[in-house]
């Protein structure tokens, strides 16, 4: 959005192009129409451009990726003399994906400009994509801890992340990852199509958790006529006759999700997973799709086991839960109606906006 003279100017400093990354879409991009209604204007400064984004998380092209990183840093440096034009600076996850947090230090201690720091993962833990292993030594996890400490306020995606931020900074607020139930996820699955569809949505970084359920799908195939829909940027490594791989597309995302009758969200019980904000589950639930989940982190707070979905630990749990739902379409419909209500009341963009707008209450 172009800048105007409203006196409410926000600069969003983000890693990815607008509309591409789930963390950005569900952490702040969905609030932009509400900000506009409230008289705010903004500019989004992404480290990676659209063409860079298409390349960066695919294997290979090491020299090209190095060039794209340097290009991103140059764009960041060009921002510095313009910062005084903005009333608020909102940083999502990082100033830059690699290297020390030099830009954060310069903004805080040289330019004396405060910033809001937003994060929805345990980003202080070592983590890197398999396609960019060569760059992992340039991504010190301690960067996130420094940004939490230097920020004016931390916007944390769940209570676990909030607790971490509180050890470094007195100013923190819990803002859950939200779903726009009015403009985007505004339809309900009727579960009338046949055969029933078990589904999962995610990316190259989390598809490994779905692949661990392969023995479950093999057993289910012996008992049920169903389809397994996988929506991602890469297909799963396993092959089954009933698998439908759908490449994630922002333009068809809701239609692709609405074909799912039972939504899956397997996770390991580790510190990284505990920091996650339940996005997959919330997407399913908002569309009236009962979730089958690992009870890890915020997932354990989203539903009551057996009432709006199921929690699973062992492979036997996953097989039983999915089998129960595949055997009872009325149960799928009943649970789906309840999950929609949970999202609207507690995790909708409308319900969380009053918290989000507090981030910009003071300069």
Model pLDDT for residues 176-201, shown as the tens digit of each residue: 999 999 999 999 998 888 999 999 99
pLDDT band, very low/low/confident/very high, at 9 (cuts 50, 70, 90): very high
Sketch out the chain's domains with CATH numbers.
9-178+350-360 (3.40.50.2000), 196-346 (3.40.50.2000)
Closest CA to 227 of 265, 194, 266: 194
What is the percent of the chain where pLDDT is above 90?
Answer: 72
**Lowest-pLDDT range, 92-101, 142-151, 178-187?**
92-101
Q: How far apart are CA 233 and CA 361, in angstroms?
A: 38
- Compute, in degrees rounded to 10, the torsion defined by CA atoms 189, 224, 316, 273: -30
Q: What is the pTM of this model?
A: 0.87
Q: What is the pLDDT of residues 107-133, one digit of tens each?
A: 999 999 999 999 999 999 876 555 445
CB of 250 within 8 A of CB of 221?
no
């Amino acid at each position: 959005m172009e800048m105007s003279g409203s006196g409410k100017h926000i600069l969003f400093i983000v890693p990815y192009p607008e509309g591409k990354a789930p963390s950005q879409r569900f952490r702040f991009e969905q609030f932009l129409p509400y900000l506009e209604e409230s008289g705010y204007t903004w500019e989004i400064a992404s480290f990676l451009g659209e063409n860079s984004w298409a390349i960066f998380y695919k294997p290979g092209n090491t020299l090209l990726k190095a060039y794209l990183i340097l290009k991103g840093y140059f764009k960041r440096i060009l921002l510095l003399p313009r910062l005084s034009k903005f009333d608020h600076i909102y940083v999502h996850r990082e100033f830059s994906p690699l290297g020390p947090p030099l830009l954060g230090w310069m903004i805080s201690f040289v330019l004396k400009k405060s910033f809001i720091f937003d994060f929805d993962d345990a980003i202080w833990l070592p983590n890197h994509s398999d396609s960019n292993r060569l760059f992992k030594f340039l991504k010190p996890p301690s960067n996130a801890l420094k940004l939490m400490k230097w920020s004016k306020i931390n916007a944390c995606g769940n209570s676990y992340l909030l607790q971490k931020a509180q050890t470094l900074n007195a100013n923190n607020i819990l803002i859950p990852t939200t779903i726009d139930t009015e403009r985007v996820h505004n339809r309900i699955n009727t579960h009338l199509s046949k055969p029933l569809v078990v589904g999962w949505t995610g990316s190259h970084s989390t598809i490994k958790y779905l692949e661990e359920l392969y023995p479950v799908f093999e057993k289910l195939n012996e008992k049920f006529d169903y389809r397994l829909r996988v929506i991602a940027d890469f297909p799963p490594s396993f092959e089954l006759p009933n698998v439908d791989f759908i490449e994630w597309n922002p333009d068809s995302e809701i239609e692709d999700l609405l074909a799912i009758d039972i939504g899956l969200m397997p996770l390991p019980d580790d510190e990284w997973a505990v920091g996650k904000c339940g996005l997959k589950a919330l997407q399913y639930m908002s569309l009236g799709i009962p979730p089958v989940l690992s009870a890890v982190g915020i997932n354990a707070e989203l539903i009551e086991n057996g009432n709006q979905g199921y929690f699973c630990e062992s492979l036997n749990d996953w097989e039983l839960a999915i089998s129960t739902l595949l055997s009872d379409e009325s149960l799928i419909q009943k649970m789906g109606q309840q999950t929609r209500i949970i999202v609207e009341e507690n995790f909708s963009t409308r319900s969380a906006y009053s918290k989000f707008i507090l981030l910009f209450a003071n300069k």
